[in-house]
Structure 1
């Protein structure tokens, strides 16, 4: 009779539990004597997370899940994601074999932790403030199972994503099928330990997004990480098996990474004021985030139109597909490599997300990377990053992206013919014109020296001065002076304007600001002091004129009230030297050369002659015998006097003369 009443009361208790509309269990655990019935919950010690039941929007199916107390609709982990309960009659408890199980209205087990224990009567499931469900053996304290080892689509702080090198042991996030179905979807998020650690989003086995290499501090393919520290990223190998582990450290805010059903991974932080989640970073977020958007040997630039282009030395594999906006076939090499160490060179691509499949090795500097790549016939490209060393690519170059002012310099191996191919002729004229200008300066200096020693004939002088211009380099933009102009400038060569006599004849004071001077160095224009460095100043002005496509004497920027020199300095110092160039020659592939020419030009127009390079050094800078350039100082004559600024818009002719007492030398025979 006693046993009958015991079973009778037990049945009544169980019936009560199932009929009770809601039972709030003031605990953080489930034991063999506890039945967690939908919609009851257990709560973590600090009330951060709860474990209970929920239904996604648009369905009545029920799932056992971990969710945030502050946001019950934000699901951090799901137990039965592929085995939903059809109604709210489900329950969770500890089974006879010591596992956490979910049962339906027929008391059938639809999900289990499937752990093995030697003392099944002594197991307990607890929920921690990290959101981790832990099944422990109370007799030994051993952890039998935990939800963090089987993530769903959310990565929480202290949860580990693991790549052991074996696909079956990889721990990844797995997306929902849809917003109303948390079953296993098509996308996964994880890390790859191949060569250099990287993060990936995969669709099946196909990568759809890549973080770029981990350098110990940041992921080199996430542009935002170069500008500010994105808190909560770490990658390390810290277990006995050598597994690569990615973990977010514990945070002082509620934070998570969530992979949605569309394959987008987002970093979210809880905002207490708005009582909502704030998305602080996500990927893929733009066109070039898509893995291999431009195919093999293609480069993607979200600021470009179109976004895809072939790397230098390559051309579209299928022009028909490229013209239609399908770039997946990528590009093919135009000319084969020589692979003899002499016939090949490298094209530098600045501010890049480097390609996939990098092979690293320690190196002190870029030069070692270059030598190692040239010595390897299969090496297609290299890059140097201070925290990694060298990165070498021996296979296809894919998933390359142009960043905006940040990133890694990528050096593409090309044949010599490709290094010179398609060079813009308008920009390329800078080198011969400047070289010719330097030659003329040296010739002039040599003739002056020789003339003083009586070693130059009048025929040589005539040949140098009056020989027709070469058809190869047209310097028609340079000013010419007629005899009438010189007569006017010296007031009919008036004797009172005669300053003295030099090696070539009398020297006159110039009364009117001949155009060839806005080229004269400050020390010569203001004080009459002349040296080789004065010619270097003129050379610098000429270089800036060629890049800009404007003459210094005619140029005035009304917006900034700046001369050509001032505009060059402003834009170069603001890292916008590319914007200074003539639009007819400006192109992304020539940006580096243009900015370099501007910097050399600014070095030539420094105020103090001692700060300017000598002519031979300028040649070495232009030919890249000198690779690294010093930073120029701001020229004082960067501002340009403008009549309208003083209100004197119409000055009389007789007062329009140079305030710098320029001199003019006329040539006479002895």
Structure 2
């Protein structure tokens, strides 16, 4: 009660006991006990949980009375009222745990086999994961909370519907996440509908099981998979019941490493009889066997199937004989050949391994075929998909560093503790194999302290990934354009970044064994290490020049508007000077703290270049400088950098300095700096692209004649 004796909360228990005592136990359980009746419990908070499960706590279901103890999420991070999600136990035929969103299932643990929930890919044992299911033989099945670990742990159902396991870090005095679910779309219940299978590493993530096709193909192709799939061929069991034909018996198709579907029924049938039992029952459409559960069968739609990368169970789906003949015939012919081939492969593998040991290094060679050519990558470490999936917690959203045109980038940690950044080619990306192979080809041949280092790659079926050194400060745009981070950059750090990017470009243009034009230099492609040393990244758009080549033309203009030189954006012509233009934009953004596309005044259409040019002519460059980096001791140096930046963004390529000249001007106090001419994309181009009524926006004096028919 509050000071006005108004009830704020009540256990809602009616008791006539006048000697009841309230206790907060060491377990965290708040109990009301009868002091006179041997301390029997009248009410306890563990039977009325909020959003958390702690040690010695449980959720349960009584099959006789229908009573349940369930966990309910908060309405929001700040509102502890019950939200939309609930975690509950369903004993059913086989115990399972569900997260419900309102009246619909949202996540499912899979079946309990006495040791683990087989639908949770990362669960290995009771002792390591903390779950246990207990049947008291009186109608109640309990899911107990985390066990007695050496550290404090808990499970929380957060307001978004995620079940998160955390432990208390005594040294850092904070909760740290061990595991959470759902951590990708495939873990959401029934994502792909009946007879659909979900694999979050593929695009699209949903596909029909073998022998099935989309129920509504047009909706399926649009990414609406809720209607699921239908069987292509009618089962012989159904035909025989209608016509009496028994010429062709149904069979079973094995699908391995999956999360078994919902609504399984259990029987005590032995493993060797499980198949024949299902085959003899026309209602049985699939079966599976787990040593901890026994024989399982399904009589209705197969829903909530997920493809695992490791572990998982085998599901045998009933198929028409015509769907199996092809496979059987192939097996009869090919099995002897395969056995011989495998024997040969083993011998070759042993020989190669022995040779690799002698060389003292293990390298792989990959030949990836594009549409028209083959690109060979030699002496480049190759990572397996499983290694990268484990390093990034199965590409969990919490590990995601960002998203670019190429695809998402994830932070990972290898088994030896080394931190990496994994750049994953998205199938929805506008970029493809050409850009992927181009980046491998370019960056594997260059090494410089101001270029991000490529550690290896992964090509596994449809998956293509690049593995880089991990840059803890992420990219430069975070510190330039995020108000919460902008104050971290002082002029000393900014000067280091400008000079470092310049040195990286100089290496690409002049000092490396290949002459490389980056074509997409911008803040998001400048990564920073712990000391704010810059490293140029993302070479998917880069082009290699011959030693005697100065420029090239392309019909495919790629890059980012606002950073592209005018001759490249309009004519597809690129050279070293187009990279110098992008560098000039970068310098002006660093000094101003504003994006090149920002509006600079309320009444003017000035671009970043136009605004800097106007202040240059008015000799008022102090107004252009970000207050975070402006101080009297560095003002002259910053103004010099603005002048250099204006030289780099001049309209005509021949007027711009080379990157070597830029570095000489940046680092030398004696080198004279030319006077810049008008930058590109300022007033005169505004006239072309914008409709204006002002006199100075007239392009010519030609009048327009109205044509009237006679």
Query: Given the two structures, how large is their TM-score scaled by the length of structure 2?
Result: 0.46
Q: Mark the structure with the bigger radius of gyration.
A: 1
Higher RCO (CA-CA < 8 Å; seq separation 6+): 1
